[in-house]
Structure 1
Amino acid sequence: MTCNPDRPLRALFGVAGLAMVGAALAWTQPARADAADARVAIAQALGQFERGHWTAARDRAQAATAADPDWGFAQAVLACTHLALGEGAAAEGAIDRAIRGGFDAARAHQLRAHARLLQGDTSGAIAEADRAAPRYRGYAVRVKAQALAAQGDVAAALPLFDRVLAERPGDAGAWSALGRVRMTAGDMAGAIDAAAMAVRADPASPDALELRAETVRAQYGLVAALPWFEAALRRDPRHHDTLIEYAATLGDAGRNVAMLTAVRRAMAVRPESAQGYYLQAVLAARAGDMATARSVLQRAGDRLSGVPAALLLSASIDLNEGAHAQAAATLRTLVARQPTNVTARKLLALALLRGDAARDALAFILPAAQRDDADSYTLTLTARALERIGDRAGAATMLDRAASAARGRSTAFAPDAAIGELAARARTTPGDPAVAVPYIRALLTTGDLAQATRAAQIVADANPGAPAAQLVLGDTLAAGGRFAAAATAYARAATTRFDEPTMLRLVDARNRAGQRREARATLSLFLGQNPNNVTALRLAGQWQLAAGDSAAAVDTLETLRTMVSDRDAALLADLSAAYAMAGQSGPAVDYAAAAYALAPANPLVVDAYSRALVRAGNAGAALPLAVKAVRLAPGHAGIRLHLAEITRG
């Protein structure tokens, strides 16, 4: 994402001044034809910029500087357009050329501060902002606030934003900058409000519209955000970063054709875009063309080396190609950086198991398997690791859990730091969710539920707009069995961030509180906005099965199968059950057999195969499978019941 454009041209000239400057430049009669061309191009750039066509404005400013490279004013305008588009290095180069061409250096400190900020030089940004002339103080103070926030000092940044906005309440750039700072700090309610104010202040600002799209995406979901991205692109159809965000949102919503179109538009603007290459690789991987995905991803070079999603994709491709050691090396790096990334842990454990490093695999997968909400694949993977090291009793326990349809509550990972260290941090900055939440989770891990609940209530009351604070309160209430109260806390979190973890907690708490209609409505609402969410589709299919709605379950699970391929044994087992319930014994047996071929040691799969054969009238073939299922999961009452039904005839 770009940093917030701050309407630097308005900061230099004022709103009315821009029109006057453009008109004056357009009618200037210079001595040279190239200078005349430059002035016409700059007048066009100013007009394009004010209409929100920032990329076009940059192009016209570049045309002006190409016609008259020594014109300092044109270089300054070009710098402003680069800043609006988040191009810090290019902006600083244009600033230097502007000053060499006679532009007053005293008018450029706030511009250079912004350019330094965009390049990650926060100290340099603050130093330049402090040197800005009084007439540009609002712009400079805003850049300084952004730099302080980027350094982690949000507490010092927020009063500076308050000062700027008290003086200039219609400054869309300041509202946008504040919104991004609040979003980064976890204050989603504040970010949502700031984004709305930014759009109100300047409906032509692509950055304000894009920020609004991002906050709507977090608050409501993918589908609701699309019109806001489209509004931003109507203002600046060639804005690279907006096109990238729009493409990613389309892809997550399952609109792959539209995603490809948006990616191509972004690549036309910036042919070597690393983000564009990544999204093209994602599309190829989704289509099962791993060779193309690898080729496209490699074209980005090292520019994606620090992007977690790109690392995950690269490792997935390596696993698909049998490069287990290479995949494991990449995933070790990712898990070290993101220890709560369950998907990365599962892939790493799989890579290590395939490389005969079972003990290492167990070390990475066990924290995920020990969670109450561990999925059957995680549990089965853990069982395989335990079997490899000779712990058959532990493997059997994991397989029993994998065979059970019941899952525990969805919660966050406990922090790795010692509780004493976390407590000290919490005392130093009371009420800060970033500090308090890890401490509260550590208290839950140690079993101090009372203290955890007290601390969670304090931080939730102090931060009503921070989803993390509401979620941790819900977690403590749920841990104490107060599911209705937990659902209320989760619902507050969902008003500002309705993502998968929030949805899962809210659905689970409402279901356990007896609010089943509300739980179903929550899941349905989430799927309406995130129709390709694998976790939500799987949960919906399982609920439809449990409710006996076989037709809906078949539709949902078939949709899911097209997304995750035919190598998910648990999904195939669920499909077998859905078809069997619908009276379609042929597909039921076929899917069960396919699941069994993939996971013959998974008791849930073995049991599904046995039941499908019974429904098809082949009890003789079903019996040994039912016996095997019981042997694999002797503590599972449902599997024992199925065996008893077969033996009774």
Structure 2
Amino acid sequence: MTIRRWLAVPTAAVLALGATFAQADSAQASRYYEDALKRFERKDVDGAILQLKNALQQDARMLTVHVLLGKALLSRSEAAAAEIEFNEALSQGINRAEVALPLAQALVAQGKQAEVFKLPALVPEGLPDDVRKAVLLVRAAAYADMGDPARAQTQIDAARAIPPDNADTWLAEVPLRLRARQFDKAALAADQALKFQPANAEALYQRATVPHVQGRLDEALKGYERAIAADPRHIDAQLARAGLLLDMNRDADALAQVQALLKLAPTEPRALYLNAVLAERRGDAATARAGLKAVTEQLDPVPIEFIRFRPQALMLNGLAHYGLGQMEKAKPYLEYAQRQTPNSPMSKLLAQVYVAEPNLERAGEVLEAYLKAFPGDGQALVMMASLQMAQGRHARAASLMQEALRTRDAPEFHTALGISLMRGGQSGGAVAELEKAFQRDPRQNYAGMALATLYLRGGQTAKAVSVAERLVKQNAKNPSAWLMLGLARRGAKDLNGAREAYQQAAQLDPSLVDAKLGLARIEIAQRQFDAAQARLDALIKADEHNVDALYEMALLNEARGKPAEVQRWLAKAADMSGPRNTRADLALVAWLLKRDQPGPALEAAKKLLAKAPDDPQTMTTYARAQLANRDLAGARATLANATRRSGFGPDPLTQIAALQLDARDTAGAAYSLDKALQAAPQHVGALSLASTVALQQGNSAQAEKQARMVVQLQPTQAAGYLLLADVAQARNQPAQAVEALRKAHDLQPTTGSLLALMRALGRQDPTGRGAQDLADRWLKTRPQDLAVWKALGDAQARAGAYPAARRSYETALKLKADDVEALNNLANALIRQGDAAAAAQTAEKALALDPRNAAVIDTAGWAQHLAGNADRALQLLRDARLREPGSPDIRYHLAAALAKAGRKAEAREELDAALRSKSFDSLKEAAALGQTLR
């Protein structure tokens, strides 16, 4: 059936619209432009942009508006938007000389250096001399960024050949010579610039960079001071002087310089970072953290592609995120920075980020390259050893550890090892190392933080609280310690204590967003929804890009039972998240899947995958969306890639294996689990799933061996006995299966163990009496157990007790009126009782709730057929057959409806397909129908 999505607009209407646009108020647009120009000239850029947009609403063809808007946007660092305006001006016929320079600058600001050499509008030939010279210098900088100094120098020489020669061409050469470590030529170029402009602050600054790089610090310091004297607003000179004073341990002078700089440029990321370093040196953790966060707030909104050729900015944001413990956010910046400066100490930070993912193979590659350049670095050796252990290479790990500890048996080495083990999935070893480090040196705050986190993960909340309290005692003025205490107390269900800890953190640092978020979480947990709403509203008002606050707003609305708002806030958080911040995206996909929206979930998962294409968790989530959309082949490929990227962490590998089973990739699941068990042979989750996989592969002996290992590891849990029951059932040993399930249910009398036992009893006794009695006893004390009421109805229906089954399903529906399974099975019971009209009505309710479920569609179609509604029946049964062509029952039902409609040839085709299966519920009826169709 063709659906017309768009209505055609008559040509006359289009022409009329065009006439309307042609009558735009150009006079008003001109007034807006003139006002904008005045605003721009007095540095009111925001006001200028507003007026320029007003002008465009009146007349979108004004070239002057597009050019000035582009320049205004570029001055506000909105390079992508500026590029659009300059290109629009070009498309409307502006002379390229008017926009060539700012367009080139906009491209470079976005990291599009290569585009500078491709666009016809930026070809230097044919431009006026002054513009051509400026464009050549932009091209020189672009070549330098791309690692081609020879071509960069060619562009500078070409610019210098355009008279008159000036300081700019020589200043462009200085950084180029410094990168090549040609210090004499760099000094000569700076001196030439100073000949043209002796008081030029930029030339004085560039001249001072030469002795700075060479290590002549006193000379460099004097040079920076001369530059500042020439122009007190020269940011780079002030930054260089502050950094130099810091290197010289003149912290008081450095702080004074940084404070002066922050008055001049309050949001300058480099100044904020230096301020954070100075705060850390004097033990002011709150100010240090606030400074690092301020750095990220300035640089995160800038797309990383824009600064990929700016190693200083890359390192700055990478270090800031790393200092805040935000490994995933630090990763792309550190990766780009390492490409600019390979085998620097930055490699160790990057390796720790890879370990956190975990991507142990990539971490090992980075560390191995670094250790070739610095073979005696003890910290790197410890990190490398932890990686080897995580990958099961114990002998190699032992050798590396001995080598590292020979360099120095220091608590911080034990901390590093513990952190590495933790991120490699070896929690037990990590706890031992971290405990050793924290006991030997309580100042190892990172060890304490990690140890408390591990205790929380392991459910040892009392230990987590104890460690967090020690951290607070030793660091009473450190808000991070109070934050950890809040987290630990919250994990221990001490919500009031957690609130006190978060409040203390907020008092120490009123700007600390994490403390405010912690308080909001407590308020949500205590159902103080209005208070949480007010707190989160304030955070979002202060920073609409606060992804954490947006995410918590989604959780608040979930607690309030507002699903549409949950989805809206998660989508907003995902959109606001940085290129590698995926928490909101992951939650959005999970939410959409939970709400049975597979199509939107897949679209959200695609965006997620674009953010972090190599992240195993991202791949796993994408695979879930693929499975929900029944793309089994795609899911298998995605999960195979996730397995390769997951290192040897047993938890993620076990999750991947479970999804591989859903994707019908038994061999892939077996490989993932084998990899997990190499790293953790006693990982209960991996063993349990491996037993199931072995059973599917026909290896019942291996399945039993692994099931008994689970029993040995968890003798008081039901899991191992449930696996033994599966083995017994596979071997056609019903008595042994029931015995194992009774043991499981005795150990853990849960709904799940009861249902498993009921199914086994039902297989033993076709009357289902034992299963029904078990359910009756359970429901006497647990009358609200929906799942057991449905299971009881199923057992009664299998025994042919349809009136009793009907009553059980109706009871279940009183507990949950929109339970699709209960509605569907009630409809089937009504069909069996001959009440087709009531069955059709009930089945349609189920169908409205789950319109893509083939079984539900089939029930509704069959009920409609029996009720005499032929058209509706055929529509539904054809749909069900297309969704699940392998179901013989569905094909029989369709055949019956087709036969009744007089379509006997098609009915025979469907019935023949059904009868190829020798065992299905409707086999007897299908055979009878076949006799009538011969």
- Bin of the TM-score, shorter chain as denominator length: 0.5 to 0.7
Name the structure 2 match of 1:302: 442
Aligned counterparts of 2:603 and 2:389: Cα–Cα separation in 1: 32
Please state if 1:493 is matched with 2:608.
yes
Structure 1 position 646, deviation (Å) = 3.9
Structure 1 position 281, deviation (Å) = 9.7
Name the structure 2 match of 1:226: 364
Give secondary structure in 2 for the equivalent of 1:206.
coil
Structure 1 position 527, deviation (Å) = 1.9
TM-score, normalisation: structure 1:
0.57
Name the structure 1 match of 2:676: 560
Name the structure 2 match of 1:113: 246
Q: Give, as a single letter, the amino acid of the residue that structure 2 aligns with 1:605.
A: G
Q: Deviations over 1:563-598 (max 9, x none)?
A: 445473x55444443444444444433443443455
Q: Give, as a single letter, the amino acid of the residue that structure 1 aligns with 2:290.
A: Q
Please state if 1:609 is matched with 2:724.
yes
Structure 1 position 451, deviation (Å) = 2.9
For the 8 Å contact 1:419–1:443, the answer to whether it is kept is no
Name the structure 1 match of 2:314: 175
Please state if 1:589 is matched with 2:693.
no
Q: Give, as a single letter, the amino acid of the residue that structure 2 aligns with 1:514.
A: R
Aligned counterparts of 1:422 and 1:207: Cα–Cα separation in 2: 39
| 1:409-558 equivalences in 2 (<5 Å) | 415-417=521-523, 418-463=532-577, 465=579, 466-497=581-612, 499=615, 502-543=618-659, 553=669, 556-558=672-674
| 1:139-150 equivalences in 2 (<5 Å) | 142-147=270-275, 150=289
Name the structure 1 match of 2:738: 623
Give secondary structure in 1 for the equivalent of 2:540.
helix
Name the structure 2 match of 1:127: 256
Name the structure 2 match of 1:67: none
For the 8 Å contact 2:721–2:743, the answer to whether it is kept is yes
CA separation of 1:481/1:579 partners in 2, compared to 1, >3 Å: closer, same or farther? closer
Aligned counterparts of 1:17 and 1:493: Cα–Cα separation in 2: 42
Give secondary structure in 2 for the equivalent of 1:227.
helix
CA separation of 1:452/1:256 partners in 2, compared to 1, >3 Å: closer, same or farther? same
For the 8 Å contact 1:603–1:633, the answer to whether it is kept is no
Q: Deviations over 1:115-169 (max 9, x none)?
A: 889xxx9x9864343579xxxx9xx972544536842575577769999x9xx99
Structure 1 position 177, deviation (Å) = 1.4
Q: Which runs of 5+ in 1 are unaligned?
A: 1-9, 22-45, 51-60, 62-72, 78-105, 350-358, 365-412
CA separation of 1:458/1:624 partners in 2, compared to 1, >3 Å: closer, same or farther? closer
Q: Give, as a single letter, the amino acid of the residue that structure 2 aligns with 1:484.
A: G
Structure 1 position 224, deviation (Å) = 3.0
CA separation of 1:333/1:590 partners in 2, compared to 1, >3 Å: closer, same or farther? farther
Give secondary structure in 1 for the equivalent of 2:630.
coil
Give secondary structure in 1 for the equivalent of 2:410.
coil
Q: Give, as a single letter, the amino acid of the residue that structure 1 aligns with 2:246.
A: A
Give secondary structure in 2 for the equivalent of 1:151.
helix
For the 8 Å contact 2:606–2:622, the answer to whether it is kept is yes
Structure 1 position 432, deviation (Å) = 2.3
For the 8 Å contact 1:537–1:557, the answer to whether it is kept is yes
Q: Deviations over 1:95-125 (max 9, x none)?
A: xxxxxxxxxxx997423436889xxx9x986
For the 8 Å contact 1:252–1:530, the answer to whether it is kept is no
CA separation of 1:599/1:195 partners in 2, compared to 1, >3 Å: closer, same or farther? closer
Q: Deviations over 1:217-271 (max 9, x none)?
A: 7789332343333333334334455545544555445444444455455445544
For the 8 Å contact 2:639–2:656, the answer to whether it is kept is yes
For the 8 Å contact 1:145–1:160, the answer to whether it is kept is no
Aligned counterparts of 2:397 and 2:489: Cα–Cα separation in 1: 28
How many residue pairs align between the two structures?
A: 487
Aligned counterparts of 2:651 and 2:489: Cα–Cα separation in 1: 17
Residue of structure 1 aligned with 2:466, choices 329, 335, 338: 329
For the 8 Å contact 1:537–1:556, the answer to whether it is kept is yes
Structure 1 position 470, deviation (Å) = 3.2
For the 8 Å contact 1:611–1:642, the answer to whether it is kept is no
Aligned counterparts of 2:429 and 2:351: Cα–Cα separation in 1: 31
Name the structure 1 match of 2:375: 237
Structure 1 position 608, deviation (Å) = 2.1
CA separation of 1:585/1:431 partners in 2, compared to 1, >3 Å: closer, same or farther? closer
For the 8 Å contact 2:619–2:642, the answer to whether it is kept is yes
Give secondary structure in 2 for the equivalent of 1:481.
coil
Structure 1 position 206, deviation (Å) = 0.5
Structure 1 position 425, deviation (Å) = 1.3
Aligned counterparts of 1:645 and 1:264: Cα–Cα separation in 2: 60
Residue of structure 2 aligned with 1:642, choices 760, 763, 773: 760
Give secondary structure in 1 for the equivalent of 2:521.
coil
For the 8 Å contact 2:707–2:724, the answer to whether it is kept is yes
Structure 1 position 528, deviation (Å) = 0.7
Aligned counterparts of 1:414 and 1:514: Cα–Cα separation in 2: 39
Query: What's the C-alpha RMSD, in Å, of the aligned pairs?
Result: 5.7
For the 8 Å contact 1:426–1:436, the answer to whether it is kept is yes
Aligned counterparts of 1:512 and 1:624: Cα–Cα separation in 2: 36
Q: Deviations over 1:29-62 (max 9, x none)?
A: xxxxxxxxxxxxxxxxx9xx99xxxxxxxxxx9x
Q: Give, as a single letter, the amino acid of the residue that structure 2 aligns with 1:488.
A: E
Give secondary structure in 1 for the equivalent of 2:641.
helix
Give secondary structure in 1 for the equivalent of 2:522.
coil
Aligned counterparts of 2:217 and 2:406: Cα–Cα separation in 1: 25
TM-score, normalisation: structure 2:
0.42
Q: Give, as a single letter, the amino acid of the residue that structure 2 aligns with 1:589.
A: E
Structure 1 position 438, deviation (Å) = 1.9
Aligned counterparts of 1:197 and 1:208: Cα–Cα separation in 2: 11
CA separation of 1:250/1:530 partners in 2, compared to 1, >3 Å: closer, same or farther? farther
Aligned counterparts of 2:766 and 2:274: Cα–Cα separation in 1: 73
What is the aligned-residue identity percentage? 19
Aligned counterparts of 1:431 and 1:264: Cα–Cα separation in 2: 47
CA separation of 1:524/1:278 partners in 2, compared to 1, >3 Å: closer, same or farther? same
Aligned counterparts of 1:115 and 1:161: Cα–Cα separation in 2: 30
Q: Deviations over 1:256-304 (max 9, x none)?
A: 4444455455445544251345517987996988998588546742243
For the 8 Å contact 2:386–2:421, the answer to whether it is kept is no
For the 8 Å contact 2:657–2:673, the answer to whether it is kept is yes
For the 8 Å contact 2:351–2:366, the answer to whether it is kept is yes
Which stretch of the first structure deviates more once superposed, 255-264 or 184-193? Answer: 184-193
CA separation of 1:492/1:237 partners in 2, compared to 1, >3 Å: closer, same or farther? farther
